[in-house]
Amino acid sequence: MSDETVNGILSTINSFDRFPDAESKTIESLKFEDHSIIFSNFKNLSFSYVFHGQSYLAMKKFQKMLDKLEDSEQFLDDINRLCEEPTLEKRMNLVEYITNEFLE
């Protein structure tokens, strides 16, 4: 991968982290070589999905996961517990829950 590609990816990720409204669920994307990355901030968390192939289906799947998380009381409770007392176990539980939601 060229230096220009790496610099572009890092610049995009850096600017993404500065979005003012973490509740908006705006999905941003970038492409490099044969892969794409989509990003979204939600509930003070940053989500990303790296994929190869059509972006339309990936975006729909990603949006569906964000919508399911928004409607999930378990997810919101897990985030609140993690913010109150961050532990590795709580982080891993949250990651597992998000992964399962995405794979459904």
In the prediction, which pLDDT does 4 show?
Answer: 76
Pair (77, 57) in one structural domain: no
Query: Is the model's pLDDT at 90 over the cut of 80?
Result: yes
Residue 73 near residue 81 (C-beta atoms within 8 A): no
Average pLDDT for 9-16: 67
Which of 93, 4, 31 shows the shortest CA–CA distance to 39?
31
- Rounded to two decimals, the pTM is 0.68
How much is the CA Rg of the chain, to the nearest whole Å? 15
The domain containing residue 55 runs over which residues? 1-61
Question: How many distinct structural domains can be found in the chain?
Answer: 2
Pair (10, 57) in one structural domain: yes
- Beta strands 45-51 and 35-42 are antiparallel
Is 10 within the bounds of a domain? yes
